[in-house]
Structure 1
Amino acid sequence: MTERWGREQVLGLAPDAPSGKAAATAARPAKWSGTGCDEQAVWGSCQGSGKSAYRAIVDLSEPAFRCSCPSRKFPCKHALALLLLWSDGTVPEQSPPGWVTEWLAERRDRADQAERRRAGKDAAEGKPGGARDPKTAERREQRAADGVADLDQWLRDQVAHGLAHAERAPYQVWDDAARRLVDAQAGALAGQVRALASVPRRGADWPQRLLEEYALLRLLTTAFDRRAELPEPLNATVRSRVGFTLNQEEVLAGERVRDLWYVAGSSDTEQDRLITRRVWLRGRETGRSALVLSFGAPGRALDASLVVGATIDAVLAFYPGAQPLRALVAERHASPRQYAPRGTTVQGLLREHADALSRDPWLDRWPAVLADLRLGRRAGDDGWHVVDPAGDALPLRTTDPWRLLAVSGGRPLTVAGEWSPRGLVPLSAWQDEEGLVIL
């Protein structure tokens, strides 16, 4: 039987806080009938406000959700409530009814058809593995090179004119530069340039931060201009930072690592009406970090297959680069299980981050799993810190440390989050008595 997830893991799948609260209200056995579960799925019918009950089913291997209710949220409160009941152990194990097996079979058929369509398209085009047309690639390369050269000149102009004008510069200054990069098919660079508009509006140290960002962008434009001289892993990193992408087949053909991967945390950000979900993983045996990304428009479902707090036995395929971090889940070998996470020390994290920056200086965040931490304040500092047994501390970047304090209760805990020199953003915590808490 698939190991049940904790309530925090289930509520971590909620699209927003109201959905989680509504699911907790609906997770009452008296509201449900025909519930059941097996190794692959959990299902049941929930009585709503109308005459007909809503049928809900969750494919535990993804997870994937389906409910007959009219809600546009995904997963809806009924699917979440069903998982809460399953988490509490109130859903009996039994053979699935026909409507459940039919839906699961349809999902398998759609996946098989999509795979056949991809294979047929590659064969028809004579492009095994999705190889690109050489002439098209050459034109793309030249457009990107022209766009990068234009950005390089723009950066030099900004510094030559001085930074003082940036404080009063309209957003259009950054947006125009970003639009030219979009036209040059250098989308990743365009996003970085747009983000510069917010720097002069964040704190008194903005000139220093803006100059740092300019310097990193200039380093990138110089590296791209000299890409033929770079080692292949660094060249791959530079091309990715500019906006060149790889298809899934190319990634799956590269480096693969099998491990027990702990799902440490998940974070969603929105830019240009696109939501990006970052899911951080850490290998129990290799100690290696990984980042799995998914994208979607607002209101659309994002990948929810990696449940925070679970540990999956899986093979990850890593994108090539000087510091391979982003990955795809290539294979899964067992159902998710829950283990206490293994963390490192503050000094261990800082060494990891320094080594990663030496290979990829454009990293803007790094995954952190830190063990045996306590929360506190330092003399002369108004902010909160996490402190390890050696007395080494890191600043917290959060407007609400109180939940973390409540979980700790003065006892040591393991914290997972995103680290940057501006501080640690906590995403989840583990305390031996409380278990997992998603922040």
Structure 2
Amino acid sequence: MAEQVATRWSPEQVAGLAPDPASAKVGRGLAVPAKWSGAGASARAVWGSCKGSGAKPYRTVVELAGPAFKCTCPSRKFPCKHALGLLLLWSAEHVPSAAEEPDVSTWLAEREARASRAERKPEAPKDLEAAAKRAQERLARVTAGAAELRGWLTDRVGAGFASFEGSAFEGGGFSGGGAEQLRTVAARMIDAQAPGLAGGLRRAAGLVGRGRDWPGDLLAELSLLYVLAGAALRLDELPAPLAETVRTRLGFSAGTAQVLESGERVADQWLVTGAVDDEQDNLRTRRTWLRGRHSGRVALVLSFAPPGRPLDSSLPPGYVVPGELAFHPGALPLRALVADRTEAVLTPVPRGDTVAEALAAFAEALAVDPWLDRWPVLLSDLTPARHDGGWALSDVDGAALPLLPGVDPWPLLALAAEHPVTLAAELTPAGLRPLTCWHPNGVVRL
């Protein structure tokens, strides 16, 4: 008798596993029944053999719980294109339910045995005194770095921005153009174990000489860094929630176990409004935004992976995930971990806000956390409009927000050409970054 098959994933969930867009595209090309033989699915796994360039087909197995992947192809990407193609084939209901084949059962049993051994392995005792000493030493280095940065910023801004674009400035102790100076100080902040300050300096370096209003943009970025460095010098004087926010912005972070144990818990039906993938310093990051249907809370779930490895795809945009989140501490609790959840369900078009409501919410958030550089918004009844040589999105009240410079507008414009759409986006001071669009024919991740 064939085993019961697991609940099939959506194509969006499968696409979210792809290590890069090229793999996703090739995987879609392999999601054709004629390319596969011996394909089957159980409650635990999906398997099949795909004809490749060699004489022998590639054997592909996917454990659904992990997910975990095994393929005889030489690819070093996880999942490979064959695993993606097989999962897309399964998602489209072209893989029948079947009893697990011997090699599939053997591989799953081996994985289960390794996991069991890992759970039984005793944890090494933690040296709490040594850990506290290391934390204190790091705080001292960060404080020293913050004091150095404040002094440098005072001298540098006091000299004026006229020399920032290209010529050298010797009074602050560094030579070279303005952008190079900022990168040099950023490296000093890395040495001081203050990655948050370093990141702000690198962002500031990217502003030098770019655009007509770059001096004002640069001053705004450096002002926030100055305030953050000042807050680092008086952490003990700040209210506890604000102190946690400052620590997070400096680069300190609460551990997963600590957040799950003592973080604020919020149970709700969480709408996954959108996700953004970034890659920097050989690390891929996925920002996934959620919005509680009943609580109205917004949450940010982060996942990380090295290049070629899959990011977490268990929170597909456009779906509702009933569950409980544990929030990191802070004056504006935003980042969260999924503490408990049930199966994601595709949702109809959600009700969004007006532009005015979204701007008011962003302003309230900035009043609590002035270093917030993006805010998730869900906007209803948007139509495209021309704006200052680019594009903006206008709501029923006529209020509009411009698209972020550099964003390709055409996929969204095509969706909104005939009917107003509901859009999830990241709102930044420079404009909107579209993430997910709901329109009469469905939901599209942009």
Q: TM-score, normalised by structure 2?
A: 0.89
The match for 2:69 is 65
Q: 411, 423, 440: which one pairs with 1:432?
A: 440
Deviation of 1:93 after TM superposition, in Å, equals 2.6
Shift of the 148–84 alpha-carbon distance from structure 1 to 2, 3 Å rule, reads same
2:235 is the counterpart of 1:198 = no
Report the CA distance between 1:141 and its aligned residue: 1.7
Could you tell me how far apart the structure 1 residues matched to 2:271 and 2:378 are? Answer: 10
1:298 aligned onto 2:310: no
| Structure 2 Cα separation of the partners of residues 79 and 322 of structure 1 | 43
1:327 partnered with 2:325: no
Separation of aligned partners in 1, 2:391 and 2:277: 23
Which of the numbers 117, 120, 140 marks the counterpart of 1:142?
140
- Give the match's secondary structure for 1:150: helix
Cα separation, 1, equivalents of 2:190 and 2:290: 31
Match of 1:187 in 2: 195
Deviation at 1:112, TM superposition (A): 4.7
**Matched AA of 2:382:** L
Which residue type is aligned with residue 51 of structure 1?
Answer: A
Percent of residue pairs identical = 51
Take 1:41 and 1:371, find their aligned partners in 2: how far apart are those partners? 40
Q: Give 2:87's aligned amino acid.
A: L
- What residue number does 1:340 align with? 348
Does the C-alpha gap of structure 1 residues 437 and 422 become closer, same or farther in structure 2, counting only changes over 3 Å? same
Are positions 1:31 and 2:35 aligned together? yes
What is the aligned partner in structure 2 of residue 49 from structure 1?
A: 53
C-alpha root-mean-square deviation of aligned residues, in Å?
2.3
Q: Distance in 1 between matches of 2:9 and 2:292?
A: 19
Counterpart residue number, 2:126: 125
Deviation at 1:395, TM superposition (A): 0.9
Distance 1:113 1:81, change over 3 A: same
Secondary structure (helix, strand or coil) at the match of 1:120 reads: coil
Deviation at 1:8, TM superposition (A): 4.2
Match of 2:395 in 1: 388
Tell me the CA shift for residue 217 of structure 1: 0.8
Within the candidate set 238, 246, 262, 2:271 is matched to: 262
Q: CA deviation at 1:255?
A: 1.2
Q: Map 1:1-400 to 2 at 5 A.
A: 3-117=7-121, 120-121=123-124, 124-125=125-126, 127=128, 133-168=131-166, 169=177, 171-253=179-261, 254-332=263-341, 334-342=342-350, 343-378=352-387, 381-397=388-404, 398-400=406-408
1:61, CA displacement in angstroms?
4.2
Q: Deviations over 1:64-95 (max 9, x none)?
A: 43322211233221122112212222222334
How far, CA to CA, are the matches of 2:114 and 2:377 in structure 1?
A: 37
C-alpha distance in structure 1 between counterparts of 2:161 and 2:375, whole Å: 29
Corresponding residue SS for 1:257? strand
- 289 and 80 in structure 1: CA distance in 2 versus 1, 3 angstrom threshold: same
**Contact 1:262 1:341 survives alignment (8 Å):** no
Q: 1:96 to 1:429 in 2, by over 3 A?
A: farther
Matched length: 429
Structure-2 change in CA distance of 1:31 and 1:371 (3 Å): same
The structure with the greater share of residues assigned to helix is 1
Q: CA deviation at 1:416?
A: 1.6
Aligned partners of 1:11 and 1:65: how far apart in 2? 15
Letter paired with 1:185: Q
Deviations, residues 233-283 of structure 1 (Å, cap 9, x unaligned): 110000111121222111111112222222222222233333322222222
CA distance, structure 1, for counterparts of residue 68 and residue 357 of structure 2: 37
> 1:156: Cα distance to partner?
0.7
Whether the aligned pair in 2 keeps the contact of 1:3 and 1:335 (CA below 8 Å) is no
3-state DSSP of counterpart to 1:220:
helix
| 1:77 counterpart letter in structure 2 | K
CA-CA distance at 1:3 after TM superposition: 4.9
1:113, distance to aligned residue in structure 2 (A): 4.5
For the residue of structure 1 that corresponds to 2:123, the secondary structure is helix
Alpha-carbon distance in 2 for matches of 1:110, 1:309: 35
CA distance in 1, matches of 2:112, 2:319: 24
Any conservation in 2 of the 1:384–1:395 contact (CA below 8 Å)?
yes
Would you say the 8 A contact 1:374–1:387 is kept in 2?
yes
Residues 264, 281 of structure 1: 8 Å contact kept: yes
Contact 1:63 1:305 in 2 (8 A): no
| Cα distance in structure 2, aligned partners of 1:174 and 1:181 | 11
User: In the alignment, does 2:443 pair up with 1:414?
Assistant: no
Counterpart of 2:169? none
Q: Per-residue deviation at 1:170? A: 5.3
Aligned counterpart in structure 2 of residue 405 of structure 1, from 413, 431, 442? 413
CA distance in 2, matches of 1:392, 1:296: 39
| Paired residues of 1:235 and 1:321 also in contact (CA < 8 A) | yes
Tell me the SS of whatever aligns to 1:364: coil
Note closer, same or farther for the CA distance 1:187–1:345 as it changes in structure 2 (3 Å cut). same
Distance apart, 1:107 and its partner CA: 4.1
Aligned letter for 2:299?
A
Deviation at 1:144, TM superposition (A): 1.2
Report the Cα distance in structure 1 between the residues aligned to 2:376 and 2:115, rounded to whole angstroms.
32
Deviations 1:110-157 (A, max 9, x none): 44544555x612xx2365xxx863322222221111111111111111
Tell me, what secondary structure is at the counterpart of 1:410?
coil
Moved more, 278-287 or 238-247: 278-287
> In 2, Cα distance between the equivalents of 1:77 and 1:429?
27
Whole-angstrom distance in 2 between the partners of 1:374 and 1:338: 24
- 1:314 is paired with a residue whose SS is strand
